[in-house]
Structure 1
Amino acid sequence: MICLGFSTSAFGHGLGGEMLPPTTIGDRDATLSIDVSPSTFDPNNPENFVTLRLFDSNTEAIIEHVTFILELKKDGERIFRYMFHDELGNLNFRVISDNSDKISVDGTQEPLLGGWMRGNDGTLTLTGPIFTSGGLYEYKVEVLTVDFDDNVLDQRVELEGAISIADVKTFEVTDNKNQSHDVQVISYFDTISEFDFDSNKMSFSMPFDWNQDLEQLSVIHEEVRVPNTFGEFLSTKYNSYANGVLLPDEVVTIDDYSFDDRTVHMTIYRELIKEIKEEALKTSDSKIDFSIETSDSVKFPLEFATPDYRFKVFLSWEPETIRAGEETTFFVDFDELFSAKTKRLAEYDLSVIQNDEEIYKKHLTGNINSDTPNSHSITFAPEHSGSANIFFSNIDGNSLSKGNFIIVIEPQANSQQSKSLESQEIPIWIKNNAGWWANNSIDDETFVQGIQFLIKQNILQVLSITTQESNSNEIPSWIKNNAGWWASDQLDDETFVQGIQYLIKNGIIVVN
């Protein structure tokens, strides 16, 4: 006879998985972990794997001959409730999600209680409408037997929690240079919609019942993944909002773990949700309108933990704007985790990588666990303007003690170098004019009008050129020659532009 004894609830939103607090089974403490892999919803890949693992909390030894009842719900509606059994206590089954009317189970059944087990081919598969969208999935696990198939617990153990299947959507945005970027928004709570990007702000919405029992809620977690080429949206600080309510700074964290993109996390815990509820309800009671924007202020330091959890690394720099051609001093702190934090020296490698090319590298020795940060100055060349990765590796000689920050190198100030015309949409008549002018088919005034068009359209940038007085308004013959050669592609853009800059600098072409 199976009797209902006690239940242990652990309300938490695991991101694709969760490990529950220890609970007592017989004379020992046991821990249950549940995982779903992959933990993202992909309509093009309906296959997921679910793993339940019961183990001794003290020794981490697997508890064998476990019979589970697993119930899965979403939005309060039951998806399934099945009994499972595994001889090794490490239950793993495959889920194939589709839009059919019911769920089918492919496996064998344990003879004593009838729990589903792996079949002769070693697999156990559930097929049907299971993980049909991203969002929060609540589960309840009941442990019926342990150690032996017929060792039915007098006190059934019940465990509850929730896991999140990430809803991932990709949006194309256009920056202020008319370049497009793919931005990913990942929701670990529910599906997202109404995405918009305007200047320095991204916004999107998610269904949310503000009148629900918020005590059953743990956290709402959203991510925005920004490619490292999207310099306009790479900031040291972001402001975040929910239904127009400005959220505290600690809601947003920056994660540059990838060389290819930055992940901006928005993590809103239950107490904050309760705190802003009254104000949020003025906008909507059925959804959260999120927005995140770059901040004009700077937030230092940036930080990351190394993959081996040996160090936490903090980075700041001055001046706040990293600009090509100007010296930037970087300040880095290494804080040793899980140690006595004794002050000492350690070696490490510092490199800067841009477009998969190492543009700077140096082997250094610096302070660990010190109140005084290590400082290092770098001057980036003009051609290195744009986003880059500053990479710390081999910290204290450990290959796994490494990490990455994304930085933006602004173009050189007061540069007399024009934009490359190759990347611009140059009207064909401009080059035609240059050729005709070189052949005296059109006059100086018509040619100058074409150059002024380039300047007004921001194709040719000359803001930094200081005009000088000239004794002559005549255009030198060598510039006419240059124009002819440029029109016939015998001269590159840069050399031609230098000639135009000469005309402006000497007041022959007047720029208002």
Structure 2
Amino acid sequence: FVSIAQEQDFFLKTASAEQVPVVVKTYYDEVENFAFDTSDNSISFDMPFDWSPDYVDLVQVVHEEIRVPKSFAPYGEGKQFKGYVNGIEIDQRAILNDPYSSEETNIVHFLISKNELVKINETLGSNNFDNPQMDFKLVPLDQTERSSTEFYLVDTQNYEKTITTVNISWDGQYGANQNVPFTFTFFNENENLIKDVRYTYVAFDEFDNEISRYNGDDSVNPGIVSTEGIDIQNIYIPSEGPIRFDILVYGTGLDYDSTYSGIGSTIIELGPGTQSKTPNESAILEISSIPSWIKNNAGWWADGTIDDKSFIQGIQFLIKENILQIPSTAQGTGSDDEIPSWIKNNAGWWADGTIDDTAFVQGIQFLIKEGILRVQ
């Protein structure tokens, strides 16, 4: 186990036999089997890892950096990426692209949280518990046009300009009636990234109706933690038009250093988008038509007040009455009725508004696929 970050030097060989230097900075353990695939320009490597649930429960985050020259077009400035761990595509928020810290190098971070590790184990099943390694794969996506806005924060007492600047950017192919991955980036007065930022956001439509709000998952230490000064949040935008973002930066670090704290607002314009909607994105729940007792059930189930059977019955009622529209999902025939813990967490977060409807639907699809929830 590596307690201090170390850098390892590699070379990738392009289809034209050009050798491009790549640095992998590991915060966990030494990486091995570095490879480059010319068919999709992906970089892959692995490292030792203990996937047993008891050990995973002790891990807060697995952090790896891949540094590639911007002059190498597939990893040039402005590129976006997909990441895979043990063959499973990880949440978009776990891949952070930093084109700011170096003029010549693009830095891509794998920041894999405990929750993400648990989901990988749940997806791959118990066979993965004995897997002695973690496999990484980074795949660059096609270049897309990005929109962005930048604004400074003011202090909360005198409303004077602070030294903190916030940039919000998004992929132009996304738009209304979609989950839009917004990238929040925080800069200091020297245009360097501010590390370990703790912040919150609220989004409003043009009529001042609240669209989304998120303040992190820790009730004791509020704020979304942006370790590298770059953070991605998937936010469902219901309609076209102006969207106002209010940003509050509490401070930095565990002690909430107030050097970079402040508040600020910006207005963006979101159009219809050009990306075709995925099945998950078409499965948005109509909250206003769902009986309130269903969300109550989800919250009670998450905190142990009601049992699994009562919760499942509530979901079956929603599906049967066509109140909850689930994308076509193959019905499983599994005999294991145990519900994974991450789905119970999702239910609690959905009940209190921390996660959106799509994330909740994905959990229900998993139950159907595994045969735990049977739809007549």
Q: TM-score range by the shorter chain?
A: 0.3 to 0.5
| Larger helix percent | 2
TM-score by length of 2: 0.39
Which one scores higher on RCO, CA 8 angstroms, separation ≥ 6? 2
Whose radius of gyration is greater, 1 or 2?
1
